[in-house]
């Protein structure tokens, strides 16, 4: 049942990403409508103090910093073996694919940036790296129910949301760049969840069950 849900989620996010990508490549009017509508909505919140905060958030959420945090997370969880290897491959293959797509799609960044950034726009490197890190963190903490783990997950989720908003607020990315990053990251995550992570979780559960049975027998 879980695999079936993961498979359908993968398909849904793949379709979403393809819709956005084709829309950008064909200069579709629906893409312009989405971008302008969300830009206008965010523009209602513009203020000097908020701009300063958004610049701070986007600066410390750079792909280099986020990737460094991901590597630290992998090292701390190296004892989890196969699961860590799968998530390591997930992070670097998906972020690498995003970089390749940037070069292929070659979408220029929005005009009138509030915080100057260079490079291409679609999908967002900042956004996809942060989303991938969040998904990896949730995966490593999936069996943890203590208050500290719950707090970490809430804080990471809020920070990720703020980073995504900051990329639009500062006009460093079109909103559809961010939506594409979310779609690509989620499609990749549910893909490995369908074909790799669920199997890994099953093995862990099986090993734990065998351990409990052994303790009862002794």
Residue 216 in domain: no
Neighbours of 214 (CB within 10 A): 9
Dist CA 69 CA 134 (whole Å): 11
Residue 209 in domain: no
Which tokens is 51 given?
């701009």
Residue 42 in domain: yes
Backbone angles phi, psi at 28, to 5 degrees: -65, 145
Check residue 111 and give its pLDDT: 84
Check residue 30 and give its pLDDT: 93
Residue 30 in domain: yes
Long-range contacts of 28-32 (CB under 8 A, 24+ apart): 31/176
Express each pLDDT in 204-216 by its tens digit.
Answer: 444 444 444 444 4
Specify the number of domains making up the chain.
1
Check residue 96 and give its pLDDT: 94
**pTM, entire model:** 0.82
User: What is the residue-wise DSSP string for 77-120?
Assistant: TGGGTHHHHHHHHHHHHHHHHHHHHHHHH-PPPPSS-SS---S-
Tell me if 135 sits within 8 A of 185, measured CB to CB. yes
At residue 101 the predicted structure's pLDDT band, cuts being 50, 70 and 90, is very high
Q: Which residue did the predictor score with more confidence, 21 or 142?
A: 21
Residue 153 in domain: yes
Express each pLDDT in 10-45 by its tens digit.
Answer: 889 999 999 999 999 999 999 999 999 999 999 888
Give exposure, 28-63, as e/b (b: 16+ Cβ within 10 Å): eeebeebbeebbeebeeeeeeeebeebeebbeebbb
User: What is the residue-wise DSSP string for 29-50?
Assistant: HHHHHHHHHHHHHHHTT--HHH
Share of the chain above pLDDT 70, in %: 88
Long-range contacts of 71-77 (CB under 8 A, 24+ apart): 73/133, 73/136, 73/137, 73/140, 77/140
Residue 208 in domain: no
Which tokens is 169 given?
């607020």
Tell me if 113 sits within 8 A of 170, measured CB to CB. yes
**Domain span including residue 21:** 2-201
Residue 9 in domain: yes
Query: 137 pLDDT exceeds 90?
Result: yes
Dist CA 22 CA 195 (whole Å): 27
Neighbours of 106 (CB within 10 A): 12
């Amino acid at each position: 049942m879980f695999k079936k849900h993961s498979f359908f989620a993968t398909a849904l996010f793949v379709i979403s990403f393809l819709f956005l990508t084709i829309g950008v490549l064909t200069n579709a009017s629906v893409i312009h409508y989405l971008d302008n509508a969300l830009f206008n909505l965010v523009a209602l919140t513009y203020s000097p103090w908020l701009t300063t905060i958004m610049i701070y958030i986007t600066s410390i959420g750079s792909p280099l910093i986020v990737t460094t945090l991901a590597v630290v997370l992998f090292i701390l969880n190296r004892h989890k073996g196969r699961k860590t290897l799968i998530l390591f491959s997930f992070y670097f293959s998906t972020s690498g694919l995003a970089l390749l797509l940037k070069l292929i799609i070659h979408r220029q960044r929005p005009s009138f940036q509030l915080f100057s950034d260079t490079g291409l726009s679609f999908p967002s490197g900042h956004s996809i790296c942060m989303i991938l890190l969040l998904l990896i963190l949730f995966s490593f903490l999936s069996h943890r129910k203590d208050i500290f783990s719950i707090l970490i997950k809430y804080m990471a989720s809020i920070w990720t949301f703020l980073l995504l908003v900051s990329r639009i607020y500062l006009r460093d990315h079109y909103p559809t760049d961010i939506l594409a990053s979310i779609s690509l990251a989620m499609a990749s995550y549910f893909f490995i969840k369908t074909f790799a992570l669920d199997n890994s979780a099953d093995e862990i559960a099986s090993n734990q069950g065998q351990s409990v049975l052994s303790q009862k027998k002794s």
